[in-house]
Structure 1
């Protein structure tokens, strides 16, 4: 056997004896199909031109992971790629948040969440630097529909449960910072299921100056709602359309347009409801027969224009945005109820059957509520980035206009006592609200922040100090919020951080209202002073990456507006009458317990208390306090075949404190049973090569088929 190499032009010389023997010559070249030629070595034999065919090599998709510094002390980066596999009935990014320490929600149908003892209204949410808002009139999770955030469009997710920097706005609990993708290729996706359907498309022009990202979603939770205790005809329809158009206007400038529209319709024709409750020794059955109908419609729209200008080591961003909402609730429902004692004698033939009736009655509820909201904002932010120094500054002004009309009442009658005895007397209602409000205000915000960096490859130090100033023309307040943090990294394995700051929350629509629907003109901003200390350790175990994180926090609360939770609706007292604290410790371990599949375990222990004048002079639990919260998200796959995967999401939380809706005393409470939930998902991933063996291009890069089982407990 002998061989040779060709030159760059393909010419080569191969010396063989002229013995008229038959020989085989093999030609090989990287990227081309091997070629075999049979020759007869005789005098004056010439091979002529050798032509080789290109070879297509099918490669599986790979992911390149870079280790970068987070956006601030205690900021958590959430792996977006895991969302597609997580079993969740809401199909939202917020579902992943609830697996983090300190984050809780006692309703699997809602996108709302509470953080470290706060409520659902205390969380900032940004998409591409634009603040987004929760629905206003929503009462229950099944009415809520789709979250604003479209998971198909998301590129990065950053979350801070407290101690965030001055560049973020004025809320007391947390910040969620979402960035949508900037398309670099033409592609799309389609998802179809029994509860949720979505599609997205993205593309970029040949000159790389214009790109588009858009998505549409549809959700119908009828199958899940039919499993509730309340039986009837559920008609939920949730639709959302979003798009982002980006135009490169120059070498260092660009324009981005974001638009969205969402329509959530929830109609319900109730039939009956049966509930069993009590203890092993004393059990009851409540049966309710309904008449009537509930019709709700929630619409929201967003539009934003962003212009970026990034010359040299500075960057400038100008944002104009508008948010609009139109919500209506119409409900007329009559119910006839019967309360019975159950037989709990295990030896009885009538075990679990009704022993006696101890009460009957009826009720009638009525609602005609409407709300319209418009929020216009204009803002500018800038950044200077030089070695070892980053400076940020910004100015923003927004106009908020909210108009609402609340007309709702409920009458309960078990023996005719609500009927007037004398002619002309008023009916006795268990609850009655009639109010109309038109609120308009200007809020102007400014911030400045400096970040100093020092160190080398072995040790790094980052110190950040900032000040945020807010003026609210409705309350007349000028609020100053200083915020500082310090972080140090050792060999990219250990991190330690400390953050502290003052956080105000100007009252929005719900906080300003008394329970009777009227507005408190003397309402003030709520205040929270945060202190957070934490550490993280990145390590390898069995050649797989892991990270352990621990954090302790303390929040001192003042000028708090007390509230009660009614499902996901928050009913405020309308007065800055409470003070208190929230403190706790949080632990998280995440990593590849099986190679290539990230899982994590989160544990939170919390103590959140309030003191309200008028109640007994002592601390009692805040309405969102859950002493212990445990979340586990675990992934596994068949040995030797990672395309078959299983995903399990486990949640446990101690019960919330609840009070009677007819009792104004917050100290008269009891604990709900612990919240327990297990969701299981099983998927099969089909990875398609971009080109098949015969050279044809495939339109599918990946196909995922799965089945999910919710609430196994």
Structure 2
């Protein structure tokens, strides 16, 4: 009866079901990007409308009586660059609450208007950056609302495996990425994350928390350290201080709920809890076992007074997966069997921000903990071949000062301390590699107690009415447990505006990364490892064709030194690792490897504005070579010469979106097997004079997506349907020697994969 009543009401009185289309609200706060202080008196306009207002003394503004649709806002204030922001969507379920950061400027009003655009960039960033907001990630085809998968579309980021979120940036390993959330370092933002690396199969972060995300793919300032290739800087929004709201979500990442609301009039909270449901999709995404996981995201924020703010974030992931015996009736079945992988990971951090007249101080205390339990037995499920019981814990204390010395002179400096505890119980049976080297049995049970110290200073200078912007700085890092404890990393970047909408950019920097804890645990000798060094040389041009259309072209060289290479398997260099489901492991090693990556990235990025079109086109050319102790100089495991990503979308109506993504990449290098020798020895044997000389078939994949929004009285529904790998292209991820069938086996990327999701907001 209830169903019949709803249908009758829907047909006869639709105005009682659907929300009135003029009750939407936008609430905003405007702050100075450099000092984090409120900006009063800023003019706020909704583009292509008559709505206009001004921010109050607290930097706040509000628009009411708006239709439920997508808006663009323009914010201007004397002494600041004009900011334009798109993708501001109002739902009937709750007001849109958002913060805006204005960048100080020494230009005249007329000059500012000419250069105004929709793309945000910090003053300490000169080059190799991409900024994304919540809606760009949410609606991205192929990403399935996972921030990690969207970041894989950035210029210079290579394809690893469809089943993983690895960030392989300009030829670097996934272990080389720094991830920050509200300034708090998070080692891995994925379920089943690889120990000693940043990758994993599916993200822990709930996208509904996201305000914005920046990825820096090279030449980043001395503010960021202990990583070689990239920085992912994620900012969470704050929960509502006025009302309580809830979301029920179903997506590829799981099923769960989000709850937010006021703590008091000065604070708010957000909490999400999710559980996986991938057991329903096992066959479509070629899973040989069903992953089960839970995750939790938390953010709290509280205003002590107008100059002191406290916030807290927290994450947890509980993961379990078990691989049973292989199905030998299916030659294409996954060979990984008789194994389990259980992991628990936790991160929590509290931040105190103190604002003063010309800047702010931010103090952070955070902790991370991970418990990895992995075991694999032989084909008879009797003998343990590999076991890893490892626990890692870091406690970080850091303090950062950001100070505006004048209108064109900014100082950022900071100090930090990390307390480290790493317990590792690892067993790996003696084996002979496909390269012919005998790897002795590894059997360790040890504990590392140590600490790290770091400090940095970065200065930003602007000259000639902001035409020239220079960042220069240095950082020092100290790791107590290794013998060569201290590294110094100078860096410099500059941008010069040859036209109001065109800049020439360049950066040079020395980057160091300390050895991962799991590398040090495998052999006492590994304390002799140096920090890996990479020198970045980057030059490029940035041009705004229109305020919403940005294009960049960048050329780069990344020169690696002091890379760990295995003494037991001298063809193995650690920079070829990090994409494994187990730990990113190396046995007894020395810092004897080197490598060089050369290439260029071209990017065209279009924000969604009034014309309805949005998307990006990214093309990368790369040549990546590494030299270990044996095998000579060869292409790296991540050397994919040509890569192309095209995302194109169109807003058909206020509540309809259609989009597509096409991805192409040159096949990865591989070493062919000697078939006859492999058969006679009962194990895979490489043809060593052709080491990494062959190429897998080229990768290509097309994804399609449709988004639809519904606004009802008091609640909204946002849903999507997506088809990944529309043409069911059989892309090969890797080759292996299949001992069950005495042949070369293949591991594939995802096949044809339909997926959908919805969010019920109320």
> Which bin holds the TM-score, normalised by the shorter protein?
0.7 to 0.9
Match of 2:475 among 468, 475, 489: 468
- Corresponding position: 1:332 with 2:377: yes
- Corresponding position: 1:554 with 2:557: yes
Partners of 2:530 and 2:286 lie apart in 1 by 41
Superposition deviation, residue 183 in structure 1: 3.1
Judging changes above 3 Å, is the alpha-carbon distance between structure 1 residues 592 and 249 closer, same or farther for their aligned structure 2 residues? closer
Partners of 1:708 and 1:228 lie apart in 2 by 12
**Aligned residue number for residue 240 of structure 1:** 295
Superposition deviation, residue 94 in structure 1: 1.5
Encode CA deviations 1:270-314: one digit per residue, 9 max, x unaligned.
341578xxxxxxxxxx57898973222110111111111011112
Superposition deviation, residue 148 in structure 1: 3.9
SS at match of 2:637: coil
Match of 2:449 among 435, 440, 458: 440
**With structure 2 as the length reference, what TM-score do the two structures score?**
0.71
Superposition deviation, residue 326 in structure 1: 0.7
Higher relative contact order (CA 8 A, sep 6+): 2
Superposition deviation, residue 331 in structure 1: 3.0
**Aligned residue number for residue 267 of structure 1:** 322
SS at match of 1:107: coil
**Aligned residue number for residue 361 of structure 2:** 316
**Aligned residue number for residue 403 of structure 1:** 423
Superposition deviation, residue 555 in structure 1: 1.3
Relative to structure 2, which stretch is displaced further, 127-136 or 322-331? 127-136
**Aligned residue number for residue 576 of structure 1:** 591
**Aligned residue number for residue 700 of structure 1:** 715
Judging changes above 3 Å, is the alpha-carbon distance between structure 1 residues 252 and 206 closer, same or farther for their aligned structure 2 residues? same
Partners of 2:207 and 2:454 lie apart in 1 by 30
Partners of 2:336 and 2:364 lie apart in 1 by 49
**Aligned residue number for residue 387 of structure 1:** 407
Partners of 1:406 and 1:664 lie apart in 2 by 30
Superposition deviation, residue 651 in structure 1: 1.7
Native 8 Å contact 2:444 2:521 kept in 1: no
SS at match of 2:137: helix
SS at match of 1:86: coil
Partners of 1:239 and 1:387 lie apart in 2 by 48
**Aligned residue number for residue 634 of structure 2:** 620
Judging changes above 3 Å, is the alpha-carbon distance between structure 1 residues 662 and 471 closer, same or farther for their aligned structure 2 residues? farther
- Corresponding position: 1:129 with 2:183: yes
Encode CA deviations 1:465-489: one digit per residue, 9 max, x unaligned.
1110111111242211111111123
Match of 1:648 among 660, 664, 671: 660
Partners of 2:329 and 2:540 lie apart in 1 by 47
Partners of 1:328 and 1:472 lie apart in 2 by 27
Judging changes above 3 Å, is the alpha-carbon distance between structure 1 residues 705 and 78 closer, same or farther for their aligned structure 2 residues? closer
Alignment of 1:447-486 (within 5 A): 447-456=456-465, 460-476=467-483, 477-486=485-494
Superposition deviation, residue 522 in structure 1: 0.8
Alignment of 1:490-639 (within 5 A): 490-512=498-520, 520-540=526-546, 545-561=548-564, 562-563=573-574, 564-565=576-577, 568=580, 570-572=584-586, 574-591=589-606, 595-616=611-632, 619-638=633-652
Alignment of 1:174-185 (within 5 A): 174-184=230-240
**Aligned residue number for residue 204 of structure 1:** 262
Relative to structure 2, which stretch is displaced further, 186-195 or 116-125? 186-195
**Aligned residue number for residue 676 of structure 1:** 699
**Aligned residue number for residue 273 of structure 2:** 216
Partners of 1:210 and 1:620 lie apart in 2 by 56
Judging changes above 3 Å, is the alpha-carbon distance between structure 1 residues 63 and 597 closer, same or farther for their aligned structure 2 residues? same
Native 8 Å contact 1:370 1:405 kept in 2: yes
Alignment of 1:288-307 (within 5 A): 293-307=338-352
Encode CA deviations 1:144-202: one digit per residue, 9 max, x unaligned.
45424332111111111010000011211111101111235544433224763243233
**Aligned residue number for residue 692 of structure 1:** none
Superposition deviation, residue 493 in structure 1: 1.3
- Corresponding position: 1:367 with 2:386: yes
Partners of 1:228 and 1:58 lie apart in 2 by 40
Encode CA deviations 1:191-247: one digit per residue, 9 max, x unaligned.
22476324323333563x11112222333333443246676xx33112110111111
Native 8 Å contact 1:87 1:648 kept in 2: yes
Partners of 2:707 and 2:643 lie apart in 1 by 31
How many residues get paired? 587
Native 8 Å contact 1:620 1:667 kept in 2: no
Partners of 2:354 and 2:282 lie apart in 1 by 49
Native 8 Å contact 2:130 2:215 kept in 1: yes
**Aligned residue number for residue 53 of structure 2:** none
Native 8 Å contact 2:670 2:696 kept in 1: no
Q: Which has the larger radius of gyration?
A: 1
Partners of 1:532 and 1:274 lie apart in 2 by 52
- Corresponding position: 1:82 with 2:144: no
**Aligned residue number for residue 39 of structure 2:** none
Partners of 1:164 and 1:367 lie apart in 2 by 39
Superposition deviation, residue 496 in structure 1: 1.6
Alignment of 1:43-62 (within 5 A): 58-62=67-71
Judging changes above 3 Å, is the alpha-carbon distance between structure 1 residues 665 and 323 closer, same or farther for their aligned structure 2 residues? farther
Native 8 Å contact 2:427 2:443 kept in 1: yes
Judging changes above 3 Å, is the alpha-carbon distance between structure 1 residues 633 and 519 closer, same or farther for their aligned structure 2 residues? farther
Native 8 Å contact 2:446 2:521 kept in 1: no
Native 8 Å contact 2:371 2:392 kept in 1: yes
Partners of 2:470 and 2:398 lie apart in 1 by 26
Match of 1:226 among 283, 295, 299: 283
**Aligned residue number for residue 70 of structure 1:** 121
Partners of 1:129 and 1:533 lie apart in 2 by 28
Superposition deviation, residue 699 in structure 1: 2.0
Question: What is the RMSD computed on CA atoms of the aligned residues?
Answer: 3.4
Structure 1 gaps of 5+ residues are: 1-30, 33-54, 276-285, 336-361, 413-427, 690-697
SS at match of 1:512: helix
Judging changes above 3 Å, is the alpha-carbon distance between structure 1 residues 567 and 191 closer, same or farther for their aligned structure 2 residues? same
SS at match of 1:623: coil
Relative to structure 2, which stretch is displaced further, 188-197 or 156-165? 188-197
Partners of 1:224 and 1:550 lie apart in 2 by 40
Judging changes above 3 Å, is the alpha-carbon distance between structure 1 residues 370 and 193 closer, same or farther for their aligned structure 2 residues? same
Native 8 Å contact 1:90 1:108 kept in 2: no
Encode CA deviations 1:585-630: one digit per residue, 9 max, x unaligned.
10011226993342111110011112234434xx221222111111
Judging changes above 3 Å, is the alpha-carbon distance between structure 1 residues 520 and 140 closer, same or farther for their aligned structure 2 residues? closer
Partners of 1:177 and 1:314 lie apart in 2 by 20
